[in-house]
Copies of this chain bind each other. A is one copy, B any other.
Amino acid sequence: MKNTPAHLDILDSHSLATASLENLYRIFTVPEAPNSTLGAIDKEISDNLMGFLTDRIVARERSLKAIEADFSGSQIPEVPQFVSDYTDFVLEKLVAQSVHTAAPGFIGHMATPLPYFMLPLSRIMVALNQNLVKIETSKAFTPLERQVLGMLHGMVYEQSDEFYAENLHNSERALGSFCSGGTTANITALWVARNRMFRPTEGFQGLAKEGIAAAMAHANYDRLAIVVSERGHYSLSKAADVLGIGRNNVISVPTDASSKISLDALRATCAELTANGTGIVSIVGIAGATETGQVDPLTEMAAVAQEFGTHFHVDAAWGGPTLLSNTYKHILKGIELADSVTIDAHKQLYVPMGAGMVVFKNPSALGAVEHHAEYILRAGSKDLGQYSIEGSRPGMAMLVHAAFHIIGRKGYEIIIDQNVQKAKTFARMIAAHPDFELITDPELNILNYRYVPAAVQAKLAAVDTEAQKVINDVLDRANRRMQKQQRAAGKTFVSRTRFSQHRYGGQPVSVFRVVMANPMTTLETLQIILDEQVELAGREGTKAILAEIPLES
C-alpha cells in the first residue's frame, strides 16, 4: 500500500527521523485524500454504514488469545508508520475483530444502531473539538448543553415555561449534569444526595469540606446506606464504594414475583435502618432494570422516601426515553416525584457511546457539589464544569440536541412503541414454544427466558424445591453452554444473566437476556434466534448435559 498519494502518507519515516518539521506540520494541515486507503474507508462508511459494518466485521469468532497477539507490543513505536499501513492494520485486526453491535440479530446488550446523520454530525463535533468544562473553550456548546439538560428535565418533570425561563441559563442554577454515561450519572446523583444530607450548619462546614467521618460524627450516625431493590445496577455498589459509603451498605430489598421492589420490604428495611442509627442517603427506584427491564412502583417509592425524609433517585438509564411515548409513558408514572433521574442518551436515544445525563428536580441541588478554580469555573460563571464529576468533556450534548430535533418526540414514540411491541411478541413466541421457559414477561423491551425441554418443564412442575434445584443446576450449565456457542458462531447474540426466581423458591438460575432496541430486528430475526438455540440444544455436548436430568424418577 506504499503507492498511495504522497500527500496522504506525509509521515515519511526517514524525514521524520531527521526531524523534518515541515512533514510534521503537514499532519495538521493537509487534506484527506479521497483516493487514499483511509479516504476510501471514510467514503465507504458515508455511503453505506450498515454495509460497512456487515462487510468489514468478520462474523465468526476468533479466539481472544489470537486477537491479543495482534496487540501485544508494550512499547510506543519509535518510528512513525504510514497512514495507509496503519489503516490496513485497523481494518484487518481491529474492525474485522470488533462486534457488530448494530446487527439486527445482536439483541443481547443495550447496544443500538446509529441513525446515519450521527456520523457526519459526529465529525463536526470532533472537528470543533470543544471542551465543555468551560465557556471559554465551548461558547455556544454551553448554552446548547444547558438546553439539552433542560429538555430532559422537561420530559421528566414538566415544569412551567416560567420555571425554565428562569433556570435554563441561570448561572446560579443547573438542571442537570451531562456525564460520559449512566454510571457517572448515578455517582453524581448519589454524590449530590450524600452532600445535601450533610449540609453546612453552625459549627459544621458540610460533608463536601469535612468528609464523611466528620459528617457522621456531627449528625450522630453509625452508618450510611443506599436502599435499592435486588435488581439495582452494579454501578450503585460502585458509587457506594467511590463515595466512601461502602458496598455492604447498599441494602438490597427483595422483589416480588414480577421483579419489582417489594414495598412492604422497602418500608420495613427503612424502618429498621432508621431505628439502628443508620442514615439513608437515598432510596433508588429502577425504571427499566438492566437484567429484566422492569419498572419499580415509583409513586409509592417516592412516598416512602418522603416518609423517611430521604433523597429519591430513579435510575432510568435504560427506561427513561419511554417518557417520549404517549403509549407507554404511564409505566413510568411517579418518576416526576424523584429528586434526581439518570437517563442514558447512548441507549434508547440512539446517540453514539459516551452520553449519560442526570437531572435534578431542584435546580439548586447541584450546588452541593459546586467547585471552582482560579483559571476557569470562576464563581458566577455559567461554566458547566462547576457541577460535573468530570473535568474536560467533549460536545456530546450536540448529538442529543440533533436527535431531539431530527427524530423528534413523535419519531422516538414510533421507535419505542415498536420495540416494546416486538418484545411482547417475542415473549409470546417463547411461551408458545414447548421447549422454552419464559422467565420475565416484558414490561418494556427487555425479557428473559431459558431453554427447558417440555418434559423437564413438566418434571420441574411436579417436584419440590430441593429436586428443582438439582434440575436447575443442570439447566444452568446447558443454557450457559448454548449462550457461549451462539455468541461464538457470531450469527446472532443474546446475553445471559443469573438471578433468583420466585417460582423456584428464590433459587438463582441462569437465563438468556434479550434487549429489543434495534428497529431492524424483525420477527424473522427472532425466529432465527430461537431456531438456532433449538439446534444448539440438540448438539452432543448440551444433549449430554441435559441427559443428566433424571426424568424417570
Contact = CB atoms under 8 A, between A and B. Distances in A.
Contact of A140 (B29, B86, B98): B98
A119 B183 contact: no
Given A94-B140, A128-B95, A129-B102, A409 B353 contact: no
B116 A30 contact: yes
Contact of A147 (B72, B118, B235, B371): B72
Given A47-B31, A354-B180, A76 B373 contact: no
Contacts of A376: 109, 495
A340 B376 CA distance: 26
Contacts of A249: 210-211
Interface stretch (A38-46, A253-261, A426-434): A38-46
Contacts of A195: 241
Contacts of A418: 21, 24
A418 B24 CA distance: 11
Given A70-B143, A181-B392, 12 more contacts: A16-B410, A19-B414, A24-B418, A28-B114, A28-B116, A64-B143, A74-B147, A95-B124, A123-B123, A242-B242, A353-B392, A356-B392
B402 A86 contact: yes
Given A19-B414, A32-B120, A151-B75, A406 B11 contact: yes
Given A99-B139, A153-B74, A408 B212 contact: no
A49 B126 CA distance: 11
Contact of A234 (B24, B73, B373): B373
Interface string A1-42: 000000000010100110101001101111110100011011
Nearest to A45: B127
Given A47-B32, A98-B130, A168 B72 contact: yes
A193 interface: no
A11 B411 CA distance: 9
A190 to B, nearest CB: 10
Interface string A361-373: 0000000010111
Interface in A413-438: 413-415, 418
B154 A76 contact: yes
Interface string A103-144: 000001111011111111111101111110001111111011
Given A21-B418, A31-B48, A119 B111 contact: no
A390 B290 contact: no
A513 B136 CA distance: 13
11 contacts: A27-B116, A29-B520, A41-B124, A71-B169, A99-B130, A123-B123, A136-B487, A180-B184, A211-B245, A213-B224, A353-B392
Given A137-B101, A209-B247, A371-B238, A394 B130 contact: no
B499 A374 contact: yes
Interface residues of A, number: 184
Interface string A145-159: 011001101110000
A330 B278 CA distance: 52
Interface stretch (A77-85, A305-313, A460-468, A536-544): A77-85
Nearest to A120: B42
A197 to B, nearest CB: 12
A191 interface: yes
B246 A211 contact: yes
A276 interface: no
Contacts of A549: none
A409 B39 contact: no
Contacts of A68: 143, 146, 168-169
A334 interface: no
Given A46-B31, A391-B183, A143 B242 contact: no
Contacts of A151: 73-76
B120 A38 contact: yes
A208 B377 CA distance: 31
B123 A127 contact: no
B71 A146 contact: yes
Contacts of A80: 405-408, 410-411
A109 B242 CA distance: 30
Residue with the highest number of chain B CB atoms closer than 10 Å, among A32, A67, A119, A411: A411
A181 B71 CA distance: 23
Given A144-B71, A414-B16, A86 B405 contact: yes
A374 B407 contact: no
